[in-house]
Structure 1
Amino acid sequence: MTKTIFVTGGTDGWSDDVALALADAGHSVYVGKGQASFEEERVDLGPGGGCRGRAAWAKVRTVAFEAVDQHSIAAAVRRIVTEAGGIDVVIHAASPVTLGPVEAFTPYQLSQVYDTAVLSAQRVTRAVLPLMRERRDGLLIWMGLGVEPGPAPFTGPGRAVRAALQQLAESYAAELAAFGIDVTFVTYGPGHLLGTAPAPLQPGDSETAKAYHRDVANVLPPPAEQPANPTVHALKVAECVSGIIDARKGARPAHVALWPL
């Protein structure tokens, strides 16, 4: 069954491949982006966008909104509802990555990471849920890097934000079941970042960061291993998400961990 899907965008490249795969499957797909020029971005959006180009993106609509502005998000949701008649699925794809000692990240940096990932997801969810609750039907999917058990030095802020997103998703799953709304959290391994993904956020306090690098250099994590064929891995994530959407209502898994892809 064809569904209207709102992909809120992400920072690690997977969201674009998921959007393209869902459009190829016949769904009506909207991808949320910042208030920038979309046409230039579509040429090099992730492995799927880069390889498939404008012809593939012709099946996907883009909708502009500012992630930190509730009114902008509400306007984007209204546009989709007006054009498509509703929103069946929302896919949150924020998965921030940070690299550096926690002490060296300024409070402002942490607030920005939290705002653009956690609070933005909450803004979108709040804009969409009243419509889904009224229909007593809908699906929320969170997707991103998993939070491995145990400590992970020098990746703390990003992990903390991802853990917060997972906790929110689990709470929503329990609370929305009575309204006929499913929630699934999809995670994949940290070694499968795309080569085209933005660099991890670096600490703003360079002096403190230098002290850690000088005194505990051997503790710094090695660079994430890149997959031999990132397009193949991205398509596996897309296939997983597509399977969740096509699954029977009420029988969708609460958490799918793709470790490894």
Structure 2
Amino acid sequence: MTPTVLITGSSSGIGKACAQLFVARGWNVAATARDPTALAGWAPTTHALALRLDVTNEETIAAAVAATTARFASIEALVNNAGYGVFGPLEGITPEQLERQFQTNVFGVAAMIRHVLPIMRQRRQGTIINMSSIAGRTADPFASAYGATKFAIEGLSESLRFELKAHGVRVKLIEPGHFKTDFLTRSLHLAKHDAYEAQFANWMAWVAQADGDAPLPNAVADVVFKAATDGTDRLRYPVKGRLALVLRAMIPDAVWRSLIGGGMTRPPGERARGRPNGRR
């Protein structure tokens, strides 16, 4: 039987790359987006389905899951890719911005899992793939809101892995570093505060430079496909940011803080060279 994957946030970037790769590898793919017109270039075939899905709206989740199973009978893999980032000093982030950040990046993931899990448990097989980030393992300046959601996804996934092992369902975490997607245009929301203007401007310059040097999202899609098909109980799959994780574990906190602070919040000409990787 042809396996089926449901992917959230499929209109661009990593989600789109994942949808294209899974179809190319012979899977049935339910590609979803909040705005179905954004999937206009996604040509429906016998193995592809384009659906409206807003992870903050339970009705659209239920409808998309039902449409997927009606078309393909089952769901072997769920890729929770939809998300965005609120970046800036915490003092400038409104309660509403913080709440919306968690609604999409955390509560939306939990909602997707709740709707798909009964299908996987009944069949005693399936893989849940949650898009985390290197920012879910080590925090950067001006990423308190986004990083908090990714730290939450790390904890959610690790706990869920224990819960679902007896039911034959695997849980995977994808942890990208910095990749060239529309994350810095469509998916990035900025919060500002006058007291941090200079630091934040330097951070934005660092992000722009990192984006220019970043690889394309296909590399992440390759790892997502591996996570869906390798048949292992491996939990974490870092992509490009492995060096940052190794250094974070090896060097003292004071040295790490100096490296991060010096590399990301100073003017470009004063930055410490050799900053270990970027962030998704």
In structure 2, the residue matched to 1:14 is 14
Task: Report deviation, 1:10.
Answer: 6.1
Q: Secondary structure at the match of 1:256?
A: strand
Residue type of the alignment partner of 1:18: C
Structure 1 segment 232-243 matched on structure 2, within 5 A = 233-243=216-226
In structure 1, the residue matched to 2:118 is 130
Residue type of the alignment partner of 1:245: A
1:208-244 per-residue CA deviation (whole Å, 9 max, x = no partner) reads: x122215x568746224125574xx322212212222
Q: Secondary structure at the match of 1:67?
A: coil
- Greater relative contact order, per chain length (Cα 8 Å cut-off, separation 6+): 1
Structure 1 segment 209-248 matched on structure 2, within 5 A = 209-213=193-197, 216=199, 220=203, 222-224=206-208, 225-226=210-211, 228=213, 230=215, 233-248=216-231
Residues 12 and 182 of structure 2 are in contact (CA less than 8 Å); yes or no, is this contact kept in structure 1? no
Structure 1 segment 115-126 matched on structure 2, within 5 A = 115-126=103-114
Q: Cα gap change, 1:150/1:134 in structure 2, threshold over 3 Å: closer, same or farther?
A: closer
- 2:87 is equivalent to residue 99 of structure 1: yes
Residue type of the alignment partner of 2:181: L
Q: Cα gap change, 1:10/1:152 in structure 2, threshold over 3 Å: closer, same or farther?
A: farther
1:24-58 per-residue CA deviation (whole Å, 9 max, x = no partner) reads: 00000011111442455x3xxxxxxxxxxx66x75
In structure 1, the residue matched to 2:56 is 68
Structure 1 segment 153-192 matched on structure 2, within 5 A = 153-189=141-177, 191-192=178-179
Residues 97 and 200 of structure 1 are in contact (CA less than 8 Å); yes or no, is this contact kept in structure 2? yes
Residues 11 and 96 of structure 1 are in contact (CA less than 8 Å); yes or no, is this contact kept in structure 2? no
Q: Secondary structure at the match of 1:192?
A: coil
Q: Cα gap change, 1:167/1:74 in structure 2, threshold over 3 Å: closer, same or farther?
A: same
In structure 1, the residue matched to 2:24 is 24
Task: Report deviation, 1:164.
Answer: 0.9
Q: Cα gap change, 1:150/1:141 in structure 2, threshold over 3 Å: closer, same or farther?
A: closer
In structure 2, the residue matched to 1:50 is none
The unaligned stretches of length 5 or more in structure 1 are: 43-53
Residue type of the alignment partner of 1:257: P
- 2:237 is equivalent to residue 253 of structure 1: no
What is the Cα-based RMSD across aligned positions, in Å? Answer: 2.6
Task: Report deviation, 1:96.
Answer: 2.7
Q: Secondary structure at the match of 1:153?
A: coil
Residues 86 and 190 of structure 2 are in contact (CA less than 8 Å); yes or no, is this contact kept in structure 1? yes
Q: Secondary structure at the match of 1:243?
A: helix
Residue type of the alignment partner of 1:247: D
1:141-169 per-residue CA deviation (whole Å, 9 max, x = no partner) reads: 01243226554221110111111112111
The unaligned stretches of length 5 or more in structure 2 are: 243-280
Task: Report deviation, 1:260.
Answer: 4.2
Residue type of the alignment partner of 2:23: A
Q: TM-score, normalised by structure 2?
A: 0.76
Q: TM-score, normalised by structure 1?
A: 0.81
Q: Secondary structure at the match of 1:154?
A: coil
Counting matched residue pairs gives: 238
Residues 53 and 64 of structure 2 are in contact (CA less than 8 Å); yes or no, is this contact kept in structure 1? yes
Structure 2 CA distance for aligned equivalents of residues 228 and 195 of structure 1? 14
